[in-house]
Structure 1
Amino acid sequence: MERILVSACLMGRRVRYDGGAKTSSDAWLAGWREEGRLVPFCPEVEGGLPIPRPAAEIEGGAGGAAVLSGAARVLATDGSDVTAEFLSGARAALETARSHGIRLAVLKEGSPSCGALAVYDGSFEGRRVPGQGVTTALLERNGIRVFSEEQVPQAADYLRTLET
């Protein structure tokens, strides 16, 4: 049975920067949870950041690949550089995925770690730009397909191709 890495906040865990969750009511996720497929994970917490914590964005909306290459940093609203924690969390997510044989992830859209389609632009003014978070970029670079919680039907289609 294929396992699926999933953002812990989508599973109701209060791990977000503001101490909250973003619990998903998606029927696919609920079914996969019942089947025991889901491996909940929060790269920011695993990377050493507290709950709650200042919000963070990738500078210039450069995206996760730029952070992985050292061309951009992840900065918090208080001005602190949290790049090291984001990189550590991304590496921990990859190790968790590898240890479970995971080839598919469903992660929280917009997050500087987990965004699959978009991230915030670094201005802390709520503007999104196309791009991936740090964890998503690392997972994809290592052959793990990442879908946002807005793409669960596509993730289900991909899961079917993995299991045929």
Structure 2
Amino acid sequence: MSQQTDSTAVGVPQVDWTKAFDAQSQAAFGQAFAPDVALEAALLTRPIEGRERVARVMALMSNTYESLEFTHQATNDRRTYLEWTAVALGGLRMKGVTVLVRDEQGRIATVAIHHRFLNEILILSEHAGKQLLDVLNPDDFYNPAVRTR
């Protein structure tokens, strides 16, 4: 049985992804990613690609959560499924599932983050968009002033 950490429930093994959430740093996420990693998330309007950009987004987002716990994990071949619960931005409660797909070297090549529920996603997406203007475009996130297709 795995040891309890800040972000994993008892019985959920630590992986590079959960360790990066504990570290809350761009470097920790970057070490886990393949150079051409792609991030797909419910709070994004399109995928984000590239180790540096995805690591920057994930570092910011990991610091946005007041608490996050990975509650369940399943692995099938190169895919890892992590269920989680989180609180962000002064009490915004969320649940979700993250799917990690690894390349032949074991690095994370694709991250798909599925948040629940819609109101929480819109608030979190708008917040992230304001914080990441140095890396991404305003229309990469929910922005009531920008209409995307």
| Fold shared per TM-score above 0.5 | no
What is the TM-score normalised by the length of structure 1?
0.28
What is the TM-score normalised by the length of structure 2?
0.30
Of Structure 1 and Structure 2, the greater strand share is in: 2
Of Structure 1 and Structure 2, the greater helix share is in: 1
Tell me: higher relative CO, structure 1 or 2? Use CA pairs within 8 A at least 6 residues apart: 1
